[in-house]
Structure 1
Amino acid sequence: MHALIVWGGWDGHEPEKVAGLFRDMLEAAGGHVTLADTLDPFDDAEGLQRYDLIVPVWTDGVLSREAATNVSEAVARGTGLAGCHGGMCDAFRSSPLWQFMTGANWVAHPGGDGMNYRVRITSDDPLVTGIPDFDVVSEQYYLHVDPANRILATTRTDVVTWYHSPNGPVDMPVAWTRDWGLGRVYYNALGHQPDVIAEGPAREMLRRGLLWAAAGKAAAKGRDLTPMMTPGNHW
């Protein structure tokens, strides 16, 4: 398994440390990891398609249309995409293709950091089998989420009162999987600070998600992407 971890963007999410956590998980599973503190690897369309997994750790930032397309095409051909928190679903806010591919975009974290909330496992998928519900003290992400996502865990958005409160609390997805072409996409909203995902159930969820997404490369081998392709732009 060969993985690319691209880290940078807003320093408040400590991207270098989060990238190090992901590197450790992948190397412990026998993976070879390339770390980059620049978006330059996304400009290499052919190079991206040689990876089993791409892990973005890049809150905010700007991604060119060409680079977004390169990542999309790599994932569509089987390269996995996996990440957490703002490093994946609050990255590249001006790129609708990125949001479509990852399955959501961040819009708020009512109450800020230090919110105490429960993560509830809502699936019998092997990615969360044996992981109990658990409590988190961190930001609680409010996301605009693709209804096609396969939800693994949720949290109830009733921990703080704000302008959204008259709409009533909802079960906000915390972790999910989805497909993009022949590729696998995994996201987990936890990880505002590295300590939130450094141990316990949150770390185990992410570890499994990274490996699951990477395994999609082998599963895609020999499959035909052509039936999913039509002429013209779609974003």
Structure 2
Amino acid sequence: MPEETTGRRALIVRGGWDGHHPVEATELFIPFLQEHGFEVRVEESPAVYADAEAMAATDLIVQSNTMNTIERDELIGLRTAIENGTGMAGWHGGIADSYRNSSDYLQLIGGQFATHPGRHPEERPGDERDNYLPYTVELTDLGRSHEIMAGLDDFELNTEQYWVLHDDLIDVLATTTHPTQPYHPWHRPLTSPAVWTRLWGKGRIFVATPGHSLDVLQDPNVRTIIERGMLWAAR
């Protein structure tokens, strides 16, 4: 049977640090978007954000672009589109550690990656696994009543655990808590948002912090949350 057509357009913007596999990661979700009636356009840089006509016609931005930079006209175009109703969704550093050169981008997203605490120094193999920790993603009361998290419960992951700096204009659907350890300098546990939404003008923004690697993105809980988050955010 032919795919249902809704006439909606999704724009995938990917790039930046290769360690987050921006091409492979976004390819995981393109069939899902197409199955839900989106025409999908893929761009390898944020330059498209400066194209006002293209952005006005976009119903959903899916961004996977870690540790990159954004030009002023691109940032203005992105913010204008979202304020006018374009949705934005993303995971991990592709949205929460994207454009460190722009405080206006950080304000737009509402949460910014600060660090991912490491394992015990004697347990670090000297590669990306140094920062892989077992941790729990815990749903908030709001999360348990939200359509993105419907039917889900707290779940475990073993991957990077994001420490996020954030403001109070985000609606937190799930959290994760960083414990105290004798080899870390903080003195009490700290809870960070792990999944959140944000209303910005007429637009919706969705962020999930899990998603460092392809296996995490394919975890049934993580994948379900991201897929639902994209649909929730879309115009």
Alignment of 1:194 onto 2:214: yes
Q: For 1:169-209, what per-residue CA distance to the aligned partner results, in whole angstroms no more than 9, with x for missing partners? A: 12211000011100000000010112101131110000000
Alignment of 1:206 onto 2:226: yes
Name the CA shift for 1:194/1:44 in 2 (closer, same or farther; >3 Å): same
**Structure-1 residue corresponding to 2:139:** 121
Partner Cα distance (1:90, 1:31) in 2: 26
Letter in structure 2 aligned against 1:34: R
TM-score by length of 1: 0.87
Structure 2: stretches of 5+ with no match in the other structure: 1-7, 119-129
Match of 1:135 among 144, 147, 156: 156
Q: Aligned residues, how many?
A: 214
**Structure-2 residue corresponding to 1:32:** 39
Match of 2:189 among 155, 169, 177: 169
Query: Which structure 2 residues correspond to residues 78-117 of structure 1 after superposition, within 5 A?
Result: 78-111=85-118, 112-117=130-135
Q: Which moved more, 1:155-164 or 1:195-204?
A: 155-164
Q: Which moved more, 1:31-40 or 1:77-86?
A: 31-40
Q: What is the deviation of 1:116?
A: 0.4
Partner Cα distance (1:161, 1:20) in 2: 41
Whether the 8 Å CA contact 1:115–1:159 is kept in 2: the answer is no
Partner Cα distance (1:131, 1:165) in 2: 31
Q: Secondary structure at the match of 2:199?
A: strand
Q: Aligned Cα RMSD in Å?
A: 1.4
Whether the 8 Å CA contact 2:180–2:186 is kept in 1: the answer is no
Structure 1: stretches of 5+ with no match in the other structure: 218-235
**Structure-1 residue corresponding to 2:13:** 6
Q: Secondary structure at the match of 1:127?
A: helix
